[in-house]
Structure 1
Amino acid sequence: MSSNQLKPLTLWSHMIGPNPWKVAMVLEELCIPYKTELIDFPEMKQPPYEKININGRVPALEDPNTGIVLWESGAILEYLVETYDKTRAMSFLYGTAEYFYAKQWLHFQMSGQGPYFGQAMYFHRFHPEQIQSAKDRYLNEVRRVCGVLNRALDGREYLVGGRYSYADVAFLPWFNVVFFPWHNVNVPGVFADQIPLEKEFPHLAAWLNRLRQRPPVAKTLKDRFNALEKQ
C-alpha cells in the first residue's frame, strides 16, 4: 500500500517530552500520513487517554490501517520501519548484521541515553531541592553517553552501515532537549555550557548537525518549536 493510500496514523504527543518527536521524525522520513494530538501531563493519567496507554505517558500511536495501538517509543520505531519501510530507506534487511546493530543502538538509546538524560534534566531544572550529588551523578552519565557515541562515530558519519537510519534519529530528540535552545535561539540548552560538545565530543557534534539538517528532521523540530510557542 502506497503512502497516499494510507489512512492517517494518530501520534499522541507532548510539546516538551522528547520521545514523541523521534516517532514524528520517522513518520516524516517515511512519508507516512499522520496527525498529532498534543496532551498535557494530567490528561495522560485519565480517560480517555489512559485506555490508549495504560502507562499514562507519551508517545502512543494508533494505526487505523492495521488496527494496532502501541506505546513505548522504541517499540513504535521498530513497528514503523518493519511495517512501512519497504525500501529500507532508514532500516536494514532482516537477518543482516546491520539489522541487529541498529537494534543494539536503539536499545542503548532507550536504556542508556533516555533515562540518564531525563534524570539529569529533572535534577537540574525541576527538582524542588538542589541535590548536588544527584546533579553531578547524572551530568557525568550524560557525559559518559556522549563519550560512547563520540567513539562510535570516530571515522564514520552514521552509527550503522555507513548510512542514516532510525538508530541515528532515535538519539536526537534528547540531545535537542538538553543541548539546544527551546524557544529563544539566543538561549543555550541546559547543558550546552557545562558540556561543550564541539570541543569535547567533535564527532558527536558533527553527527548531530548532520541529523538536524535533514529536511524531515528540520520540519519536526520546527513543529516542536511551534507547539512550544502556542503553550
Structure 2
Amino acid sequence: MSHGKQFTLFTHVGGPNGWKVAFVLAELGLTYESVYLDFGKGEQKAPEHTKYNPNGRIPTLIDHKNGDLAIWESGAIIVYLADKYDPEGKFSVQGDEKYAQLQWLFFQASGQGPYFGQAVWFKKYHPEQLPSVVERYQKETLRVLGVLESVLSKQEWLVGGKLTVADLSFIPWNNFATALILADYPDFNFEKDFPATAAWHSKLTSRPAIKDVWGQRDTLL
C-alpha cells in the first residue's frame, strides 16, 4: 500500500457513503488516495480488504500517520476525522452541541442512507419490478426530506449555526434522491416542495471542495 498520502480510502465509484468521507477529507485539507473496489469482482469481500474491514463493505479509511489505524462505517470515520483532525472546530462543534452533531450523523446513517439506498436498489437493480416497494421507499425519501425541511426552514445549518460534518454527510444521498429516486415521482419539485432543504443542498454542492470531489466521480463513471 502506498503511503505517499496520509490516508488510504477504500471506496467505490458509485457508492455514496465513500464520497461523503471524501468530502470531509477534502474540506479538512487532508491528503488521501482512493482505492476503488470492483464490486463485480467481489473485491470488497477479498482478504486484502476484509483484513481491515470484516464487514466487507465500503468505505474503509486507513490513517498512515496513526499507526495505519483502520476505521470502517462512514459515520464512525467522520467522527474520527472531526475529533482528531479538526481541533479548531472548522467543521465540527464541541460541548453539548457535539451530541446534536452526532444525532444528525446517526440519522443520516440510519434514516437517510438505508431508505434512499433501498429506493435506488428497487428502482434500478432489483431483478423484479415491484412498484409498491419502490413507492414505499420513495415515500420514505420524502419523509426524510421533510424532517430536514422542518429544521432547515428555521435555521441555516443543522447544528451549531455553521456548516459542519453533519451537513456534509447528507450530500451524496440527496444527490441520488433528486437525480434518481424521485426523478419520476408525480409532481415532485425539490425547490418547491422542500425549499429550505433545496437551498441548503445547493449551498453545499456549490462549495469548491465538494464540486472538485464530485467532479472526480463524474470522470470515473
Q: TM-score range by the shorter chain?
A: over 0.9
Tell me, in whole angstroms, the C-alpha distance in 2 between the residues paired with 1:199 and 1:206: 10
Instruction: Provide Cα deviations, 1:58-106, integer angstroms capped at 9, x if missing partner.
Output: 100000111210110000000001010011000012xx23211100100
Label 1:130 to 1:193 Cα distance change in 2 as closer, same or farther (>3 A): closer
Number of aligned pairs?
213
User: 2:11, 2:220 → 1: CA distance?
Assistant: 10
2: CA distance, partners of 1:124 / 1:82:
37
TM-score by length of 1: 0.89
Would you tell me which structure has more helix in proportion to its own residues?
A: 2
Query: Which residue pairs with 2:182 in the alignment?
Result: 191
Is the 8 Å Cα contact of residues 7 and 65 (structure 1) preserved in structure 2?
Answer: no
Q: Which residue of 2 aligns with 1:184?
A: none
**Which of 197, 201, 214 is matched with 2:207 structurally?**
214
Aligned partner of 2:13 in structure 1 is: 15
Query: Is the CA contact (8 Å cut-off) linking 1:10 and 1:35 kept in structure 2?
Result: yes
Give the CA deviation at 1:155. 2.7
CA deviation vs aligned residue, 1:130-182 (integer Å, no higher than 9, x gap): 112211111110000000001110132111111100000101111112323xx
Give the corresponding residue for 2:32.
34
In structure 1, give the amino acid aligned to 2:126.
H
Q: Which amino acid aligns with 2:199?
A: A
Partner of 1:146: 145
CA contact (8 A) 1:146 1:201 kept: yes
The alignment's TM-score, normalised by the length of structure 2, stands at: 0.93
Looking at structure 1, the residues matched to 19 and 6 of structure 2 have their Cα atoms a distance apart, in angstroms, of 17
One-letter identity of the residue aligned with 1:217 = I
Structure 2: unaligned runs, 5 residues or longer:
none
The answer (yes or no) to whether the contact 1:156–1:162 under 8 Å persists in 2 is yes
Give the Cα–Cα distance (whole angstroms) in 2 for the partners of residues 223 and 118 of structure 1: 21
Counterpart in the other structure of 1:43: 43
Matched to 1:219, the amino acid is D
| Amino acid of the structure 2 residue aligned with 1:221 | W
| Letter of the structure 2 residue corresponding to residue 108 of structure 1 | F
Correspondence 1:1-231 to 2 at 5 A: 7-41=5-39, 42-67=42-67, 68-93=69-94, 96-180=95-179, 189-194=180-185, 195-228=188-221
Shift of 1:7: 4.7
Structure 2 contact 53–72 (Cα < 8 Å) conserved: yes
**Whole-Å Cα distance in 2 between the matches of residues 158 and 213 of structure 1?**
15
Give the CA RMSD over aligned residues.
1.3
Aligned partner of residue 128 in structure 1, secondary structure: coil
Query: Using the alignment, how far apart are the partners of 1:76 and 1:227 within structure 2?
Result: 23
Query: After the TM superposition, which parts of structure 1 deviate over 4 Å for at least 4 consecutive aligned residues?
Result: none
Rounded Cα–Cα distance in structure 1 between residues aligned with 2:134 and 2:110: 19
Equivalent pairs: percent with the same residue?
A: 46
